[in-house]
Structures are given as structure tokens and as C-alpha cells.
Structure 1
């Protein structure tokens, strides 16, 4: 066993193949689309006559979803090899700490989106003591942001799998 390994157990063999990477990308896309489907669903339902309450989805409810989507975009735009790029001569000075800073900001956007949706749930729907059908507006927001966060993690892992049969050619 290599002395520079972080974990004791080795990665499974299926984890580094092209089919696993493809399945991860499709799973991440399904989670992301399900999350935004829930956001659109609660927004459409809040304006319908079936709602029966004065609580409606406003721009405040959309802010956590926007933060989560931006966080996902930022996190998955960082190449994993750039996180330790200070040893490469072609990358310039300080690429690794800049990549880590941008990655931290992306995770902060994701965490802020999820925390913001919990705050909206508590302040807008739980404190005024709305009952179940209306309470779904806040719970759906939290579920949607959690799905976007989960899809970001799945996509990060899937995109950064290393396949022994993949060649990176640069001109």
C-alpha cells in the first residue's frame, strides 16, 4: 500500500471507468433538473388558485436557488489538477491557491444557498405557522437546493475521475 494514501481502503475498480463517469454525469444532470423542477413547481403552485393562502413565492425564495446554481457553476469549472498546480512550470505563480480560493467561494455559494433556503423556510413559512400545503413552498425550496448541492458533488467526482485509457493531448 502506498504511503501517501489518505484512506486505508483502495478505490473500487468500477470507480475509474468511462461508464462510471458517464453514469455520474447523467445522475448529476438528473439531480440538478429535479431540483429546478421542484423550484418551478412550487413557484407555479403558489400563484394558482389551489394554494388558498396569502403566501406566495417571491424573488426572496429564488435567491438561494440562484446562489446554489452559481456555486455549482463555479465548483465544476475548476480543474482538479489546478488545485496542486504550483509544481508545474507552465501554470505561473500561485495557481493552486487561486484555484483553491475560487473553489472555496463556490462551496460557500452552495452552502449559502442551502442555508438561505432554510432561513426562508423558517422565517417565511414556519414562524407564521402555515399549514402543510403552504409549508411545502418552503420545504420544496430546501429540497431543491439540497438536490443542486448533491448534483454538484456528484458532477465534481464524475468529471475528475481518471481513466487509464484516457489520453490528454495538448498542442
Structure 2
């Protein structure tokens, strides 16, 4: 079968849904209750067939996940010259940097501390000052956010257009 990364992930979801449905049905029909003296047919259930189908689904999922990991490790993003695997690691790093920069960019250059209201005079008024250029932190935040968006778009394009094959 041929897949793109995006279609492989959708196929994996479909396999997982099928396995979940099969296991839910198994839970419902693998046992039954009869009151004393009642006679009834047990619900249709084939233990071996269910085990075989679950093993088949797991085998397909394993093969697809392996091929997908291999695809991510070998496929190079054309604009950046890094593999998808490296790009995913870079995205996590950039997201951490974006969070830190967001915190720094959200501060005021000068901030009054304390709960002083209506001229209370319980000591001097204190201020906290940013020990960096808040405007630069905001500019850096925007640049990292733009870099993340560009990288995500490049990943999306490759994940939806590059094809790889799997023997199922």
C-alpha cells in the first residue's frame, strides 16, 4: 500500500477504532448471565477469531508505525534541509522557547509592587524593573512564533504529498 504521512496516521486511527469496536463487542458477548432454571442460547462469540483479528490489526499498525518512523527519519524538508524527525524535535524546542519569550514579553518594564491603596504609608513603595529590553523579547517572541508557523506549514506540505510504500 502507498501512504502519505497524513494518510498513514488516518489509517492508524481507523485501525485503532476497529480494534476498540471489536474489543467493546467482545466485552459485551464474551459472558452472559442466566437465572436459575432458564434456558437460553449464549451470544455468538468466537474467542480464537477475535484474538486472530486483534493480532492482525496490531501487526498492521506496527508495520505502518515502523514505516512512518523510517519515513520521518529519512525524508528531508526541502527548504530547511533537515529530516522530519529533526523538524519535530526542533518544533518542541521552539515551542519551549516561545513559552519562555511569551513570559518575558508579557512583563512591564517597570511594575509597582505591594497593595498600597489611598495613601497608606507603611514603608517605601517598591518597584520591580525588567533587566532586559521587553520590546526585544516581544520581537523575538513574534519571530519564534513565525518560525514555528513556517516549519509547521513545511511539515504539513511534505506530510500530505510525499508517498512511501508498506507491505501489509
Please indicate, yes or no, whether the TM-score normalized by the shorter chain is above 0.5: no
State TM-score, norm by structure 1: 0.33
Which of the two has greater helix per residue? Answer: 1
Larger Rg: 2
State TM-score, norm by structure 2: 0.33
Which of the two has greater strand per residue? Answer: 2
